[in-house]
Structure 1
Amino acid sequence: MSAGTAFVNAIVEESVRQIRFGVLTIIVQDGKVVQLERTEKFQVQAVQNKTVQAEKINATVLERVREHICQEMTGMRYGQILVKIVNGRVNQIEKTEKRRWAGACGLDGEGI
């Protein structure tokens, strides 16, 4: 595992453990992770009343999430992976892949 991969894995793990409600976005360019975005949502009523307790994620689940993210990134040149977290649990993983063609251009010379 490269130092870059270990760093990304550490940030993903930390974010998944800390976010109660939100999204972790992993942005890939030229086959490499170039940016991580973390958006956390706070439900005011739940925070004030402390009625919603985030579930603790265990190591086995975290490893499966990490493996799934790596699997989705395999072969990806450009795109993003969204990890949606609800009540401290990974609820959904989405993949959006972009494909670029060097020869494709519009009427005025702009790209796709």
Structure 2
Amino acid sequence: MEKVNPKRLLLPQVIELLRHSLHTIQYGYLILTVQDGCVIKMERTEKFIFSSKHKSGYIIRDVPVEQHSFQPKILAQLQGLMYGQLIIRIEDGKIEQIEKTEKRRINEQEGVYGDGI
């Protein structure tokens, strides 16, 4: 298996967007898509909850300079992932779930005679 260069995995822009999103999303999802060992896309879906319980309304938060406490764990999950997605679910400003979907490229000849999978 090809060893992935960590610098190639995450561009500085990806790390900055990840840090910013982890600090600012209250409810929603971050989806990081990995191809050939590199993050090629980040989707951010943010939900806004309106209810009588939350009287304060929408709050614009300053983003702290330091990394988010979960950022090292997320980066560790991305290590070694060649193809797939990492889905981060955020509820009330806290990471509730991290789901990792890994896809594997199978040579066309593998599995023909019962081997491979």
Query: TM-score range, shorter-chain basis?
Result: 0.7 to 0.9
1:101 counterpart letter in structure 2: I
Which of 2, 5, 18 is the aligned partner of 1:12? 18
2:78 counterpart letter in structure 1: M
Task: Work out the CA distance in 2 between the residues paired with 1:47 and 1:9.
Answer: 34
Structure 1: gaps (5+ residues): 106-112
How many corresponding residue pairs? 104
Give 1 or 2: higher helix fraction.
Answer: 1
Q: Which residue of 2 aligns with 1:108?
A: none
Which of 52, 69, 77 is the aligned partner of 1:72? 77
Give how far 1:41 is off: 0.8
Which of 7, 12, 26 is the aligned partner of 2:32? 26
Q: Kindly indicate whether the alpha-carbon contact (under 8 Å) linking 2:24 and 2:63 is maintained by their aligned counterparts in 1.
A: no
Q: Kindly indicate whether the alpha-carbon contact (under 8 Å) linking 1:46 and 1:52 is maintained by their aligned counterparts in 2.
A: no
| TM-score normalized by the length of structure 1 | 0.74
Give how far 1:24 is off: 0.6
Give how far 1:84 is off: 1.1
Instruction: Give the direction of change, closer, same or farther, for the CA distance of 1:25–1:46 in structure 2 (3 Å limit).
Output: farther
Instruction: Give the direction of change, closer, same or farther, for the CA distance of 1:28–1:46 in structure 2 (3 Å limit).
Output: farther
| TM-score normalized by the length of structure 2 | 0.71
**Identity across matched positions, percent:** 32
Superposition CA RMSD, Å: 3.4
Give how far 1:100 is off: 1.4
Q: Kindly indicate whether the alpha-carbon contact (under 8 Å) linking 1:27 and 1:34 is maintained by their aligned counterparts in 2.
A: yes
Give how far 1:45 is off: 1.2
Give how far 1:42 is off: 1.1
Instruction: Give the direction of change, closer, same or farther, for the CA distance of 1:78–1:28 in structure 2 (3 Å limit).
Output: same
Structure 2: gaps (5+ residues): 1-5, 111-117
